[in-house]
Amino acid sequence: MARRSLLVGFGSFLPDRVVTNDELAARLETSDEWIKTRTGISRRHIAGPDDTAASMGAKAASRALEYAGLAATDIDAVIVGTSTPDQAFPATAVRIQAELGMTQGFGFDIAAACSGFIFALSTADSFIRSGLARNVLVIGSEVYSRIVDWSDRGTCVLFGDGAGAVVLSGTDQAGEAGILSTHLHSDGTAGDLLYVDGAVGRPEMSGHLKMNGRDVFRHAVAKLSSSVDEALEAEGLSYSDVSWLVPHQANIRIIEGVGKKLGLPPEQVVVTVDRHANTSAASIPLALDEAVRDGRIKKGDLVLMEALGGGLTWGSALARM
């Protein structure tokens, strides 16, 4: 029997500092109404001076391990989706290994922008199915507050900081639970629609996030809809089989659009963008952790996750809890 990956642990971390729309409106030409109407965002968490991608990721990972009833010594691999690493190298994943006290296994980062968690989840699932790993920590951790231009109201109001984590564990036992399939895509010809202007190799550039919001929105609606169809068709399932949609939390309009396509009522779509804003690769595991812990997502539920990010990258994952 083929090995399957079970979602057995969930954890998250949000920085203490909360910045409301009104606080941003006090120093930018914007308003609470303007931001809410266009994005659905009311507030966001912003990293403090001691918060880093590694420290936040480690806290989320510790909570996921506690939920799973596992120790750090049980983990074979740590895979981190992040576009805001603390250093060019070593990887955020190995810094998290160190904070967790791990000296075994391996770790690395995946840079797929807002799709990073889906890409990391798919990679972890492949490792487990192949037998390369038994237990894998999959983490999304982001500090976008350090790459946005805080004078640009078109981008800075959209993002927040945080980390989310899941534990995937392999099983050879019969059953329906686990990751059913994942689907990944990218299109580099659209890379200039959403990008960071510079990096270590381009110190002369601003280092700020740049976005063509209108075109990104257009791509998101089309590509996420096709990704949803792809995931369900691969398993011979229909929209009515989906218990929960856990989408990347970028914009309430995009989230509502995909929910309507699935025919899901709003109460079956997990939404945190109003309180977290867009936390990029951290948004799906943050939302998943919240919905599992508050009892909305239960054993046996079919959960569809999807995301689109800079690259452009996009993908989906279908899991039976």
The helix/strand count (H/E) of the chain reads as 10, 13
Judge contact between 83 and 143, C-beta under 8 A: no
3-state helix, strand, coil in the chain (%, to 5): 40, 25, 35
Comparing CA positions, the residue from 287, 273, 193 lying closest to residue 244 is 287
Question: End-to-end distance of the chain based on CA atoms, in angstroms?
Answer: 19
Tell which residue, 110, 134, 235, has the closest CA to residue 181. Answer: 235
Query: Where would I find the H helices in the chain?
Result: 21-25, 32-39, 53-68, 92-100, 116-130, 153-156, 213-234, 252-262, 273-276, 283-293
Q: Can you tell me which residue has the tokens 């740049």?
A: 210
Which residues contact residue 111 at a Cβ distance below 8 angstroms, ignoring those fewer than 6 apart?
Answer: 81, 82, 83
d(CA 80, CA 139): 5
Give the Cα separation of 310 and 7 in Å (integer): 27
Choosing from 114, 156, 183, 276, the catalytic residue is 114
Tell me which residue of 196, 198, 190 sits closest to 216, measured CA to CA: 190
User: Catalytic: 114?
Assistant: yes
CA quadruple 314, 298, 254, 279: dihedral sign? negative
Query: For residue 211, how many other CB atoms are within 10 A of its CB?
Result: 17
List active site positions: 114, 248, 278
